[in-house]
A and B are shown apart, each in its own frame.
Chain A
Amino acid sequence: MTTVQATRSGDPGAPASPPPPRLTRRQRLSHWDYRFAPYLYVLPFFLVFLVVGIYPMVYSGYLSFFSWPRFGPSHGDSVGFANYAHVLQDPVFRKAFWNTIGIFLLSSVPQVITATVIAALLDTQLRGRTWWRMSVLLPFVVAPAATALIFGSLFADKTGLINEIIHTLGLPKVGWHSNRFASWTAIASMVNYRWTGYNTLIILAAMQAVDRQLYEAASIDGASRVQQFFHLTLPSISPTMLFVIITSTIGGLQIFTEPRLFDTNLQFQGGADYQYQTLTMYVFNTSNSSTDPYPRAAAATWIIVLIIVTIALINFGLTRLLQRRSER
């Protein structure tokens, strides 16, 4: 109590106007509660984030400038940018980069479009709405490992169901694990299966928040359902679309579980010819390689961070640009 009073009276910046009425203890407590409690509430998250998020990031950045022999108990001498040079010169890394971009485009683009269309369909007067809405989320509840195992046997090259069907139709079987584009498609279909429903629900929630009177007004003006969708729904939900696009960009660029469990190669290098090794798989494999495993993996991680930030910024810019256009 006394200390608080001392600081208050000693405050040189105190206004010259008549001093504010002396607050009671209860009022002061409530004032502090108002000002500081929110920070207290979010503090646990940031403490955990500091330990499991920030610390590993900073440490991996530090590590990326050192050598560390395999099985060595601690890191060795500083090597400057040698680890970064190794990663950037590695043809496998470049291949992994293009694989990741390819799988990302094949998954995120159709995923967001399909999710928006399904959300628009669910945002109508359907019978058993809740049932329909919950069922689109069902694939999301399936564990990613289970999804990957199911799709792995669907897409098995010689005996998989999909190739059996293709074969019955008289077409040549597709090398789902050997052909680069086919493997991307197979992996993207796994990702889409899992995430479309999730994005649908987020977009649906945004659509339901749009004022219904606007639709009434639009129909009175003679706008068709399709016109309403493009000129009313889409612009109204654009902040949510931005969120969905950015999160699916980040998620898409970090894809790991699906290609890893899809892999038939025993070294898990993403297919015998690295056809579907993604950037995160590259990091994982590098951390097990025989020379400087951890520092090289750390360098690769930081390169990936830069790539993701760049692409997310480009995405953000493009989406904003399109939004401005449509608002005009």
Chain B
Amino acid sequence: MRKPNIRRGAALGAAVALVAGTTVACGGSDSGASSSKLGKDDVLTITTFSDFGYDKLIDQWNADPDRPFTVKHTKIADWDPWKKTLTQELQAGHGLTDIVAVEGDAMPQFVSEGASDQFYDLADSSLDDRWVEYAYKAAQTADGKQIGYPTDVGPEAFCYRADLFKKAGLPSDREEVKSIFATWDSYFEAGKKLVAALPDTKWYDASGSIAQAMLNQTEFPFQTADNEVSIDNPEIQNVWDTVTAYSSTLSPQVVQWGEDWTANFRNDGFATMPCPGWMFSNVKSSAPDVKGWDIVDAFPGGGGNWGGSFLAVPTQSEHPEEAKEFAAWLTDKDQELAVFEAAGNYPANVAAEEDLAAKNATDPYFNNAPTAAILASRAAAVEPGHPYKGDKYSDILGLFQTAIQRVDEGSSPEDSWKTFEQAVGSLS
């Protein structure tokens, strides 16, 4: 899940989307014939959510006098509202931009039968080895249709507050803390020590993010390999029991991306959080003045991939050729490197990853942590295909996170689980 840094922007984003939607709809109706060629000043439209780091790239593209066409970029603050708009307009058959950004966890529902007909086939044999294989395959249907190009992947490291660790008497050096983040047991044990020493600070940012981190290490959390919904399995039960058990002691019991969550960045509300590359910009914008953040090259229980997105071209686009060309350009090596620079999103592009590893970039905000090297090492720890994401993965994940929120807000885990089961049942 790739989420917003500013929830307040949601309303603005929705308004922009609305305006963009109407404009696009109008533009579509008078241009008539499908797949007409775009001229230099004709507009190709693209919608992204959260921060894809495209602002500068698109400005440069539009400033180039030799550009083949002009690009108009709409940004939505949150993935979840954009998911709703995207779903609705796919079904309505019009209203979407030429290129749409799709979040990784939702990709399975779009590659499933029926839904994938709504997207243009982007397959191109010359690009087959351009991206990390598991990310590329994730946007492929069973019969080999490619409906998206990967923009980034989300190998997870852990961000931690070295200053708070020191205050609580824990090791704080980037190498020494690795033992804390070795296993989930050692992680929670250290958390108990920290909250005992610092009563105003919790161990992690939200129950939901730990649940997400643990889920990313499971194999079949919500659906079996043949997409049968199954939420009665030991893997998910383990995640549920662990997260709900620590809700009252180690978690600040806030919802990710909410007001209280953002405020906790500034008032020492928590000390650690799972950190995929795209989370870096969220940390920085939520706590620009906080000193003490650092990143450790370790992750409890191995590795994990959280988020990472795709660019897709819906069949309702009237300029699929140009859209494909532009999506391919945005996900090429240099552009993905520029995105890493701008937003921290770790490239899915293999050549860009190699380049980053060679450059060994560091980040002064995170105490000069070698972010590129850390993410490369974390990417190597990701087990491809974990977790298995069936066609309902994104929907059930949302309900699971909501079930955890209920426990944070005081429901008993048993009651909340029952509501969860009932909600999953009414998905069909």
Contacts and interface: CB of A to CB of B under 8 A. Distances in A.
Given A156-B258, A156-B259, 8 more contacts: A72-B114, A73-B117, A145-B15, A153-B259, A158-B252, A266-B255, A273-B411, A290-B395
Contacts of B80: 266-268
A136 B81 CA distance: 34
Interface string A286-297: 011111011000
Interface residues of A, number: 38
Contacts of A90: 426
B256 interface: yes
Contact of B405 (A159, A272, A291): A272
A11 to B, nearest CB: 49
A72 B256 CA distance: 33
Nearest to A285: B84
What secondary structure prevails in chain B residues at the interface with A? helix
B29 interface: no
Interface string B379-417: 000000000000010010011011101101111000010
B419 interface: yes
B259 A152 contact: yes
Contacts of A148: 11
B398 A70 contact: no
B255 A265 contact: yes
Contacts of B62: none
Contacts of B87: 70-71, 288
A267 B118 contact: no
Interface of A: 69-73, 90-92, 145-146, 148-149, 152-153, 156-160, 175, 177-178, 261, 264-269, 272-273, 287-291, 293-294
Contact of B392 (A153, A290, A294): A290
Contact of B93 (A73, A158, A294): A73
Contacts of B255: 264-266
B58 interface: no
Contacts of A149: 8, 11
A159 B409 contact: no
Contacts of A273: 406, 409, 411, 416, 419
Given A69-B114, A73-B93, A261-B11, A267 B260 contact: no
A157 B260 contact: yes
Contacts of B31: none
Nearest to B394: A290
B11 A265 contact: no
Contact of A159 (B11, B15, B90, B260): B260
A18 B109 CA distance: 81
27 contacts: A69-B114, A71-B90, A71-B115, A73-B93, A146-B11, A156-B258, A157-B260, A158-B254, A159-B259, A159-B260, A159-B267, A175-B410, A177-B409, A261-B10, A266-B401, A267-B80, A267-B399, A267-B401, A272-B402, A272-B403, A272-B408, A272-B411, A273-B411, A288-B84, A290-B109, A290-B392, A291-B428
Contacts of A293: 91
B118 A158 contact: no
Nearest to B427: A290
Interface string B81-98: 100100110110100000
A266 B402 contact: yes
Contacts of A72: 91, 114
Interface in B47-64: none
Nearest to A294: B91
B263 interface: yes
Contact of B409 (A91, A175, A261, A290): A175
A145 B15 CA distance: 10
A145 B402 contact: no
Contacts of B69: none
A266 B88 contact: no
Interface string B255-276: 1111110010001000000000
B126 interface: no
Contacts of B401: 266-267
List the 4 closest pairs (A to B, CB-CB), nearest first: A178-B409, A272-B405, A71-B115, A156-B259
A158 B263 contact: yes
Contacts of B392: 290
Contacts of A265: 255, 402, 405
B396 to A, nearest CB: 10
Contacts of B258: 156, 264
A272 B114 contact: no
B125 interface: no
Given A177-B409, A272-B406, A272-B409, A158 B260 contact: yes
A73 B259 CA distance: 39
Given A145-B11, A266-B401, A91 B115 contact: no
B90 A290 contact: no
A72 B93 CA distance: 9
A127 B114 CA distance: 68
Interface string B113-128: 0110110000000000
Contacts of A175: 409-410
Interface centre among B11, B118, B416 (most CB of A within 10 A): B11
Contacts of B109: 290
Nearest to B391: A290
Contacts of B81: 268
